[in-house]
Amino acid sequence: MKQRAINLAIAKRRAEIAAKKEEISKRASLVLSLPDVKDAHDKYISWAFKNARGGFADEEKLAKQDYIDALKKHGYTEDDLHYVPSCPICGDTLSVGGKVCACMRAAYIAALKDVCEIEARAPFTFDDADFAAIKDDAQRENLKKFFDYFKLYASKLPAVKAKTTVLFGGVGTGKTCLESAVSRAVIERGKSVKFVSAYEFNTAMLAAHTSPLSERSGMIKDYLTADLLVIDDLGTEPILKNVTEPYLLLVLEERQNRGLCTLVTCNLSPARILERYGERIYSRLANKQSSRIFELGGRDLRLN
Ligand SMILES: [Zn+2]
C-alpha cells in the first residue's frame, strides 16, 4: 500500500509540474506573438546581446522597461511567462539534500489516504472529539483515558508491546470513533492502514479462497502487510465454513509474527467470541503477552 502511494504521489507531482510548464509555455508563445510585445522583446534581447560584450547597459535597461510596459498593457508580468516552481524549498525536484522534500511528503500522505480509502472509511479524527457533549462525568473521564491511551498507541505503532488490540463495547460506546481516530493519526505518520468491516474482511477472504492458488496471496497481501489492520464490528459477519475462522486465524497469526498491529472492534462479549470463533482465535485475541483487551462501557453516547 505504501509503495502504491509513493508511485501515485510521484506520478501526481510530476503530472502537476508538467501541466504547469505546458501552461506557461503556451502562454509565453501566445503573449510573445502579440506584435507590440514581440517587437519590444526582440529589441530588448538584441540590446542584451550587445551589452553582453559591454557598453550598452542603459540601452538594455530602457529596452527591458519597454518590454515590461508592453507586457503590462496586456495584463502580464515577466513572471507570468517563466516557470516558477510550485515548491520554493526543492524547486520541484521533490528532494532536498538527498531527503524527501516536505511537498513530496504531503503528496505521499494525500496519496496514502486515497490508497487506504481512509477519509470515507474513517471520517472521525482525534481533533473531532467533543468530550463536553458527554453528560455523565464518569463516562466522560473514562472515555478521555481511552483516547489518551490510543493517541499514544497511534503515535508509537508498531513499537507497542501488544500488537493485537480488541475493543469490546456496545453500540454508541465510542469504539467506532476510536478506531477511526487511530487510523487517521497512523496515516498522518505515513503508515498504511487497511480498514474494513468484518463483513468486508469475510467477503475478501471468501474471494481469495475461491480464486486460483496463484492469485490468493496477492488478494490478501494488504491484510497481511498494512502497518495497521482494523477489523470493525467482528461478529456481524456470517460464519463461512473453511473461510471465516481459518483465514481470520491466518491473518492474526501472520501479522503477529511480522510484528504488525491489528485493531479489532467487537459488539460481542468475550464469552460469545470464544463460542463463535473457537479456542484458537479466542486465544490469539486474548493472549496476555501479545494482546490488549478494552471494554468500553457506559450508556450509548449517541443518545446523550
Ligand atoms: Zn518540495
The arithmetic mean of pLDDT across residues 55-61, rounded, is 89
Distance from the alpha carbon of residue 107 to the mean position of ligand 1, in angstroms: 10
CA of 114 to the centre of ligand 1 (A): 21
Block residue for cell numbers 486460483: 212
> In sequence order, what are the residues at sequence separation of 6 or more whose Cβ sits closer than 8 angstroms to the Cβ of residue 286?
166, 270, 293
Which tens digits make up the pLDDT trace of 189-241?
A: 999 999 999 999 999 999 999 999 899 889 999 999 999 999 999 999 999 99
Q: Ligand 1 centre and the CA of 102: distance in Å?
A: 6
CB-based contacts of 130-136 (< 8 A; 24+ apart in sequence): 133/301, 133/304, 134/301, 134/304, 135/304, 136/298, 136/299, 136/304
Strands 164-169, 261-266: pairing is parallel
How confident is residue 286, by pLDDT bands cut at 50, 70 and 90? confident
Cα–ligand 1 centroid distance for 220 (angstroms) = 35
Overall average pLDDT of the 127-152 stretch: 86
Distance 78 CA to ligand 1 centre (A): 23
* pLDDT score recorded for residue 298: 56
pLDDT at 301 over 70: no
Tell me the CA–centroid distance for residue 152 and ligand 1, in Å.
30
- Half-sphere CA count of 277, side-chain side, radius 13 A: 28
Distance 106 CA to ligand 1 centre (A): 9
Task: Report the separation in Å between the CA atom of 15 and the middle of ligand 1, taken as the mean of its atom positions.
Answer: 14
Domain locations along the chain: 2-109, 117-303
Q: 19 C-alpha to center of ligand 1: Å?
A: 17
The Å distance, Cα 68 to ligand 1 centre, comes to: 30
Scan for cell 486465544, then name that residue.
283
Q: What is the mean pLDDT of the chain?
A: 90
Contact between residue 264 and residue 235 where contact means Cβ atoms under 8 Å apart: no
Per-residue pLDDT at 82: 86
pLDDT for 299 equals 52
117-303 placed in CATH 3.40.50.1260 = no
Confidence bin at 287 (pLDDT 50/70/90): confident
Task: State the Cα–Cα distance between residues 203 and 222, nearest whole angstrom.
Answer: 14
> What is the CA(86)–ligand 1 centre distance, in A?
8
Distance (Å) from CA 227 to ligand 1 centroid: 26
